[in-house]
Structure 1
Amino acid sequence: MILSALVTSVGINTALCFIFLILYTILRNRPSNAALYLPRLVAEGNLREGNVLGLRKCLSSFSWVKRAWEATEAELLENSGLDAVVFMRIFVFELRVFQFATIIGIFILLPFNYMGNQLDIDFTDLANKSLETFSISNVDDGSNRLWIHFTAVYIFTAVVCYLLYSEYDDIAALRISSFYSSKPQPKQFTVLVRSIPVTSEKTFSDSVGSFFSECYPSTYLSHSVIHRTDKLKGLINEADKVYKGLVHLKSEVSAQKIFNREGCFGIFGQKSEPVDQYDKDVEDVERNMSAEQFSLIGEAVPAAFVSFKSRFSAAIVSHLQQGVNPTDWQTEPAPDPQDVYWPFFSASFITRWMCSVIVIFACLIITILFLVPVFIAQGLTNLTQLETMLPFLSGILRMKIVTQVVTGYLPSLILEIFLVLVPPVMIVLSSMQGHVALSQIEKSACIKMLWFTIWNIFFANVLSGSALYRLGIILEPKKFTELLAVSVPGQASFFIAYVVTSGWTVIFCIELFRLKFLIFRILKGALCCCSNEDEFISNPYHKQIPRILFFSLLGIIYFFLSPLILPFVMIFYGLGYIIYRNQLLNVYIPKYETGGKFWPVVHDATIVFLILMHVIAIGVFAVKKVHFASTLTVPLPILTLLFNSYCQKRFLPSFKGYPAECLINKDRLDLNDPSISSFYERLATAYEDPAMEAGRDYLAGETSATTPLLRDVSEV
């Protein structure tokens, strides 16, 4: 890509960012859009009239930026939880890393790259020069200037490791502090027990009660056995549809009654009113739900939530082997009640195993299929190949403006469009693996999405763009390093354009402007959020964190290869810091709390990025014929792995569970809490399947003997 094409891409995306920013300011200040752009304030009842109307007449007012900037971390912790704080700490960490990287890369490395003679630069025609002239590719082979890059790699690695350690330490301390300040939560006193032994003499409930009352007589509190509720959930969904249809019919004002025929295809048979038919459907559904709830009394699964009187006791039970047979009475910490993912409790061991195997093959198939848009994108970056494949477009492709748009904007846009389809698929695949909590599903999907992005967006583009035809080299470890050393610098221009397109524009369009939801509501004929739909109000960490970390990958790898990318990465993190703070305060309502468990994913990913940078540096110095520098770089990934091993032993245990010292201290504080007895009473019913509760709600009421689903329809 030439410099003018990059300027064109930056210009297009900057203009789009300003357009979306202005449109957001206009639409945000309209009261009718409060539920779209301020759904959290609407749901919590904290929306004041001034929040919307005060800025209505002022197009250029961006006070929301000031409010997002001035919000303290303590305020964010109180309103959105520790996960939100950790999420924003990712931006803070990356800004610190790339602030240092930009200073070194732009003011030291880039001038040395630009002044090289390897690519024979013509300074009189700078606009039409390739961006490779700003990369390490332009430094002469064997030049002593490459030792500056070698030194920069070592210093940069040391700075990143120092920042990683500091951030890990701060978040671990914040996690303990948040635990001490929290109120008693059901998950702290409860464990999930699976593989309950089956006996003919006792039910699962009797077995659980007798086992834990005998083993833990002084601390055992209560238990809740899990039932199969798949059919009941289907009946509840059917009841919802019938109820909504009946409400719609009775709310219509029509002078003419509408009749249907009961016969075949609604053509033959006796006439009947649709409302009467819905009444019959409601009665059938209620009858089925009542029968299903009655049958559930005996359809328990060998799993239960067992609660204890102290956090310390629950922690001991969750980490100890309970029975002589290790496959029986398997225990693990329980998730929060609203975090429980109920469907897979009914699945057998063989079902979960088969689903895990299917997920592995599905991920491989998706990875292979995604190579198609990658090849299309890379074809657009090479106009010579495109003209050869499509000769009838040669005249159009030779136009300067078309060349700049096609090479500088379209490739990254195509990849981004296809990439939007992947996160929902990863959520579905993760939900099939037998996780018992929504947070576990999202964390699993986050890891899948991260490595999918690294492989399909980074490696696939690098290899397909330069040397995919040399598949034999990829299988040879000795030559693979040299392959990366040649291929990665050559794709710097593509990734710079990708940061601008996928970073700047998408964060404004998809995240701030919420274009997808706006279009959805326009198509539905209304501009209001449905507060009961989680996808509208919960932060999708499985989508956001991989995207954020991928730009970190690009910045770290191209730090010494092509420093020109660093300012664009810095701008992305600066924009993200403000925009996501605004979203966390005004849009997203957390649906679960993991206590900052996403940070180890960020730490491990950053370590992998550093090692990948080291491997590429070893190959680059070898290709550039500075073999001594290449040899001296070999210890760097080893030192990085040792640092990571120390961090894993120092901090990771604190993220897997709380220390016994903290649990005991917290339990002692509860002895002086007068509300703990009422908490124990609520704990006995905290882990009840929502399907059972919803079923009782449908069947309850003063008119339950007749048609309870219709009790509110008459008021419409």
Structure 2
Amino acid sequence: MLVSALLTSLGINSGLCVLFFILYSILRKQPINYEVYVPRLLAEGNSKRRSHFNLERLIPSTGWITRAWKLSEEDILSSSGLDAVVFMRVITFSLRVFSFAGIIGVFVLLPVNCKGTQLHEIDFADLSNNSLDVFTISNVNSGSKWLWIHFSAVYVVTIFVCCLLYYNEAKTLYKRLLHLQLEPPQQKYRRVGLFGEKVDLVDHYGKRLEDIEQNVRLEQSDLSLADETRAAFVSFKSRYGAAVAFHLQQSINPTQWVTEEAPEPDDVYWPFFSSSFMRRWISKLVVVVACILLTILFLVPVVVVQGLTNLSQLEIWFPFLKSILTITFVSQVITGYLPSLILLLFLKIVPPIMEFLSSIQGYISHSDIEKSACNKVLWFTIWNIFFATVFSGSVLYQVSIFLEPKNIPAKLAVAVPAQASFFIAYVVTSGWTSTSSELFRIIPFICSLVTRCCKSTDELEVPSIPYHRDIPRILFFGLLGVTYFFLAPLILPFLLVYLCLAYVIFRNQFMNVYMPKYETAGKFWPIVHNSMIFSLVLMHAIAIGIFTLKKLSMASTLVFPLPVLTLLFNEYCRKRFLPIFIAYSAEVLIKKDREEANDPAMAEFFDKLVTAYQDPTLMPIQYSANADSLNSPLISSADV
């Protein structure tokens, strides 16, 4: 890709970002758009519609940026939960890594790359027509001593990232995890009533509704007594007792009685609650096969995108476009902007599909479904966007590369630097524009317009942030930053701009838009840790291949200890920190039980626990005005 093509993509995406910012700053002030841009504030009663007209509404402003920037971590924790704090920690962690790597890459490595003449010398007088490859490590002469600077950079950044992973305030996160409120937010039930001008008519229909409800409740109770329940929630008087029962094997056959830690009431996913071990196992197998097929199918748009980045290949595929492709601006748009846009549009459908596949995998909580979907989207993106783009070719060719581990570093050393320009454009398109569109909320805005045109009176819905969509995107950009910082450091400034945009925009969304429906207690962080370790090891493999290719065998040999030490560090972290995200320690549980032994509020808590976990299919319908009779259990103690 030429510099001019990148500049064209940069100009288009920068213009879209500015447009989204301006539209958001104007539209958010209009009272009719409050359901789109401040639904959380409306639901909490912290925002009221203004009826009088004000000229200030039509003028773009930046006050929301200041408010989002000043939002403290404690405010995010209290309002959006620990998952939101972890999400913002991912962004701040990436900012720290790439700020440090950016200083080394831009001010040290980039000048070294430009001094090389392996490809050809840079013509600064005609910079726009230079290939971006001259700014990469490919331009450094083979056997040059300047490559030792890249070698040193690999070691320094690896040590820096591992230090951040070990010291990312793990003790503070652990304390907040222990003190997280486990009770879900108060549920709001929608009451449906019947109104009429004549009182006797209302009473008549009210009595009929009560009769119907009573009949439904009788049918529900009959169904619940017809068969033995395969699963149930069991509560304990102490946290320590619950932990002991959870970790004990309940039956000689471990597949007969399976115990799981109960999720929050709002977090329960009921379809698989009573499923057998065999059904869950088969469901997981089906999902694995579906993911493999989807991965293979997705290679089609990847091959198309790779064809668009190569004008000569495009002319072979579509010879009738040869005359159009000679126009400079058209060729720049096609090679610099269009490939990333097409790939971004295809990727939009991946998170919903992965969420659906995870929902049929046998999990009993929404949080587990979202964590599983997050992992699926992340590794799908790494394989189909990174490896499929780097090793563009047939599926068999890509698989054959990984069947010969000895050849992987050499293949990566040749293929990865060649795609640097594509991934820079991808960061600009998928990072800058996509994050700005998150602020503008295009689809909810269009839906709001349609709803107003249809004069619909739907209840206000406050969305929750789709972590399985946004966390993999940040982690994938982290992988690109780690692997390319010493190959093509030009990517780092674009990554830093993306992270700054994400930092401000998502803090604003947590404050005004998103409201958590359930809590995973920060369990997304192990995914972040594993992704970063994988990125480091991948960078080491590429470094070994690059230094071998550049005939600097000593540097290649000295890089070998790095992946070994990194994996040993990862194993230590798994032993030291991973148990924090899996279970509480007995010491903490016993201490907490003793503290609350004489707490009068615990009696009320146990009373609520009896009715907290109710299957929605057994919940009574509530149409009548008198709902007191509907709050009693379906089966009383006298019936047992």
TM-score after normalising by structure 1: 0.81
Offset at residue 406 of structure 1 (A)? 0.5
Offset at residue 690 of structure 1 (A)? 2.4
Matched AA of 1:365: L
**1:562 maps to which residue?**
488
The structure-2 alpha-carbon separation of the partners of 1:51 and 1:684, relative to structure 1 and needing over 3 Å to count, comes to farther
Counterpart-to-counterpart distance in 2, 1:52 and 1:74? 35
Offset at residue 465 of structure 1 (A)? 7.1
Answering whether residue 504 of structure 2 is matched by residue 578 of structure 1, we say yes
Answering whether residue 134 of structure 2 is matched by residue 133 of structure 1, we say yes
Matched AA of 2:24: Y
Q: Which moved more, 1:657-666 or 1:467-476?
A: 467-476
Please give the residue correspondences for 1:222-241 in structure 2 after superposition, counting only pairs within 5 Å. Answer: none
Answering whether residue 580 of structure 2 is matched by residue 654 of structure 1, we say yes
SS in 2 for 1:308: coil
The structure-2 alpha-carbon separation of the partners of 1:332 and 1:564, relative to structure 1 and needing over 3 Å to count, comes to same
Does the aligned pair in 1 maintain the 2:26–2:57 contact within 8 Å?
no
Answering whether residue 439 of structure 2 is matched by residue 512 of structure 1, we say yes
Answering whether residue 100 of structure 2 is matched by residue 173 of structure 1, we say no
Offset at residue 326 of structure 1 (A)? 3.4
Counterpart-to-counterpart distance in 1, 2:398 and 2:596? 66
**1:62 maps to which residue?**
62
User: Identical aligned pairs, as a percentage?
Assistant: 54
Deviations 1:590-615 (A, max 9, x none): 11111111101100110000000000
Matched AA of 2:622: D
Deviations 1:52-86 (A, max 9, x none): 98894362321111111111111111111111111
The structure-2 alpha-carbon separation of the partners of 1:619 and 1:383, relative to structure 1 and needing over 3 Å to count, comes to same
Q: Could you list the runs of 5+ residues in structure 2 that have no partner in the other structure? A: 186-190, 198-207, 631-640
Matched AA of 1:589: M
Counterpart-to-counterpart distance in 2, 1:431 and 1:338? 16
Deviations 1:652-709 (A, max 9, x none): 111111112221222222134221111111111111112322x34258848999xxxx
The structure-2 alpha-carbon separation of the partners of 1:470 and 1:157, relative to structure 1 and needing over 3 Å to count, comes to closer
Offset at residue 126 of structure 1 (A)? 1.7
**1:217 maps to which residue?**
none
Does the aligned pair in 2 maintain the 1:597–1:655 contact within 8 Å?
yes
The structure-2 alpha-carbon separation of the partners of 1:79 and 1:55, relative to structure 1 and needing over 3 Å to count, comes to farther
Counterpart-to-counterpart distance in 2, 1:105 and 1:484? 20
CA RMSD of aligned residues (A): 3.1
Answering whether residue 404 of structure 2 is matched by residue 403 of structure 1, we say no
Answering whether residue 115 of structure 2 is matched by residue 115 of structure 1, we say yes
Counterpart-to-counterpart distance in 2, 1:471 and 1:323? 42
**2:636 maps to which residue?**
none
Does the aligned pair in 1 maintain the 2:143–2:551 contact within 8 Å?
yes
**Which residue among 350, 361, 365 is the counterpart of 1:437?**
365
Does the aligned pair in 2 maintain the 1:30–1:56 contact within 8 Å?
no
Offset at residue 332 of structure 1 (A)? 2.1
Please give the residue correspondences for 1:243-262 in structure 2 after superposition, counting only pairs within 5 Å. Answer: none
Deviations 1:166-212 (A, max 9, x none): 11xx24432324523x456489xxxxxxxxxxxxxxxxxxxxxxxxx
The structure-2 alpha-carbon separation of the partners of 1:19 and 1:600, relative to structure 1 and needing over 3 Å to count, comes to same
Matched AA of 1:380: L
Does the aligned pair in 2 maintain the 1:175–1:596 contact within 8 Å?
no
Answering whether residue 622 of structure 2 is matched by residue 697 of structure 1, we say yes
Counterpart-to-counterpart distance in 1, 2:600 and 2:162? 46
Offset at residue 347 of structure 1 (A)? 2.9
Counterpart-to-counterpart distance in 1, 2:237 and 2:166? 36
Counterpart-to-counterpart distance in 2, 1:284 and 1:371? 55
SS in 2 for 1:488: helix
Does the aligned pair in 1 maintain the 2:31–2:50 contact within 8 Å?
no
Matched AA of 2:165: L
Does the aligned pair in 1 maintain the 2:296–2:395 contact within 8 Å?
no
Counterpart-to-counterpart distance in 1, 2:411 and 2:158? 23
**Which residue among 530, 544, 563 is the counterpart of 1:637?**
563
**1:677 maps to which residue?**
603
Deviations 1:109-128 (A, max 9, x none): 00000110001124142210
Does the aligned pair in 2 maintain the 1:618–1:634 contact within 8 Å?
yes
Deviations 1:533-570 (A, max 9, x none): 5xx51011111100110100100000100000000001
Answering whether residue 36 of structure 2 is matched by residue 45 of structure 1, we say no
Please give the residue correspondences for 1:340-419 in structure 2 after superposition, counting only pairs within 5 Å. Answer: 340-419=268-347
Q: Which moved more, 1:451-460 or 1:115-124?
A: 115-124
Counterpart-to-counterpart distance in 2, 1:183 and 1:354? 35
Answering whether residue 165 of structure 2 is matched by residue 164 of structure 1, we say yes
The structure-2 alpha-carbon separation of the partners of 1:51 and 1:422, relative to structure 1 and needing over 3 Å to count, comes to farther
Deviations 1:282-313 (A, max 9, x none): 99999677534532332343211011111111
Structure number having the greater strand percentage: 1
Counterpart-to-counterpart distance in 1, 2:624 and 2:409? 67
**1:587 maps to which residue?**
513
Counterpart-to-counterpart distance in 2, 1:52 and 1:680? 49
**2:148 maps to which residue?**
147
The structure-2 alpha-carbon separation of the partners of 1:470 and 1:541, relative to structure 1 and needing over 3 Å to count, comes to closer
Matched AA of 2:136: S
The structure-2 alpha-carbon separation of the partners of 1:494 and 1:3, relative to structure 1 and needing over 3 Å to count, comes to same
Counterpart-to-counterpart distance in 1, 2:181 and 2:133? 57
Does the aligned pair in 2 maintain the 1:290–1:699 contact within 8 Å?
no
The structure-2 alpha-carbon separation of the partners of 1:334 and 1:55, relative to structure 1 and needing over 3 Å to count, comes to farther
Does the aligned pair in 2 maintain the 1:137–1:489 contact within 8 Å?
yes
Counterpart-to-counterpart distance in 2, 1:497 and 1:138? 20
SS in 2 for 1:332: coil
**2:18 maps to which residue?**
18
Answering whether residue 262 of structure 2 is matched by residue 337 of structure 1, we say no
Does the aligned pair in 2 maintain the 1:312–1:660 contact within 8 Å?
yes
Does the aligned pair in 2 maintain the 1:36–1:528 contact within 8 Å?
no
Counterpart-to-counterpart distance in 1, 2:479 and 2:163? 18
**Which residue among 232, 244, 261 is the counterpart of 1:304?**
232
**1:522 maps to which residue?**
449
Answering whether residue 477 of structure 2 is matched by residue 551 of structure 1, we say yes
Deviations 1:562-582 (A, max 9, x none): 000000001111110000001
Does the aligned pair in 1 maintain the 2:122–2:134 contact within 8 Å?
no
Q: Which moved more, 1:135-144 or 1:283-292?
A: 283-292
TM-score after normalising by structure 2: 0.90
Counterpart-to-counterpart distance in 2, 1:349 and 1:548? 35
Does the aligned pair in 2 maintain the 1:618–1:631 contact within 8 Å?
yes
The structure-2 alpha-carbon separation of the partners of 1:53 and 1:578, relative to structure 1 and needing over 3 Å to count, comes to farther
Q: Which moved more, 1:370-379 or 1:496-505?
A: 370-379
Deviations 1:13-56 (A, max 9, x none): 00000001000011100011111100111111111458998894
SS in 1 for 2:611: coil
Counterpart-to-counterpart distance in 1, 2:521 and 2:468? 16
Does the aligned pair in 1 maintain the 2:113–2:137 contact within 8 Å?
yes
SS in 1 for 2:391: helix
SS in 2 for 1:47: coil
Matched AA of 2:34: A
**1:87 maps to which residue?**
87
Q: Which moved more, 1:517-526 or 1:454-463?
A: 517-526
**1:77 maps to which residue?**
77
The structure-2 alpha-carbon separation of the partners of 1:131 and 1:62, relative to structure 1 and needing over 3 Å to count, comes to same
**Which residue among 443, 455, 476 is the counterpart of 2:404?**
476
**1:266 maps to which residue?**
none
Matched AA of 2:561: P
Does the aligned pair in 1 maintain the 2:8–2:336 contact within 8 Å?
yes
SS in 2 for 1:173: helix
Does the aligned pair in 2 maintain the 1:141–1:625 contact within 8 Å?
yes
Does the aligned pair in 2 maintain the 1:311–1:667 contact within 8 Å?
yes
Offset at residue 321 of structure 1 (A)? 2.0
Please give the residue correspondences for 1:281-320 in structure 2 after superposition, counting only pairs within 5 Å. Answer: 291-320=219-248
Does the aligned pair in 2 maintain the 1:39–1:529 contact within 8 Å?
no
**Which residue among 534, 543, 555 is the counterpart of 1:617?**
543
The structure-2 alpha-carbon separation of the partners of 1:334 and 1:281, relative to structure 1 and needing over 3 Å to count, comes to closer
The structure-2 alpha-carbon separation of the partners of 1:415 and 1:186, relative to structure 1 and needing over 3 Å to count, comes to closer
